[in-house]
Amino acid sequence: VEQSYIMVKPDGVQRGLVGEVISRFERKGFKLTGLKLFQCPKELAEEHYKDLKAKSFYPTLIDYITSGPVVCMVWEGVGVVASARKLIGSTNPLQAEPGTIRGDLAVQTGRNVIHGSDSPENGKRETALWFKEGELCEWTPAQAPWLME
């Protein structure tokens, strides 16, 4: 099944937006299978963002992500990766549509509150990077038959 690795970044945790973010994914109807508050070590941040290593903002990005606890989540469901990207909105919060998480709750790319995997492959890769096997929980929400026929 498709998985998206979703993370409330340190600014979102410091600003008290964890519940708001979780709520939006819950209400949409995706299934939460992993959740933890976590202080990200520098090595993990570097591995997570290795594709951006050449960018000028990379050092500040690593400082940002390791500056305080993050909330790590795995959400599952058909089409969850692309749908989560829509719920999250554009990378630059000033360009993100109202109604999206970044569009409603942030003003700057360097403090954009949330991460979401950009492909199903990266959803699997990032889930394996941030969670150990035993930390994920397979379960059937009671509302399942009311979400999909």
- Element at 84 (helix H, strand E): helix 80-88
Query: What is the phi-psi region of residue 138: left when phi exceeds 0, alpha when psi lies from -120 to 50, beta otherwise?
Result: beta
Site string for ligand GTP, 79-118 (x = CB under 6 A): ------------x-----------------xx-x--xx-x
Q: Is 46 in the site for ligand GTP (CB under 6 A)?
A: no
Measured CA to CA, the distance from residue 71 to residue 79 in angstroms comes to: 22
- Residue 107 CA to residue 101 CA, distance in Å, equals 11
23, 60, 95, 119: residue in contact with ligand GTP (rule CB under 6 A): 60
Which of the following is catalytic: 70, 76, 115, 122?
A: 115
Residues forming the active site: 115
Bind-site residues for ATP = 9, 57, 85, 91, 102, 112
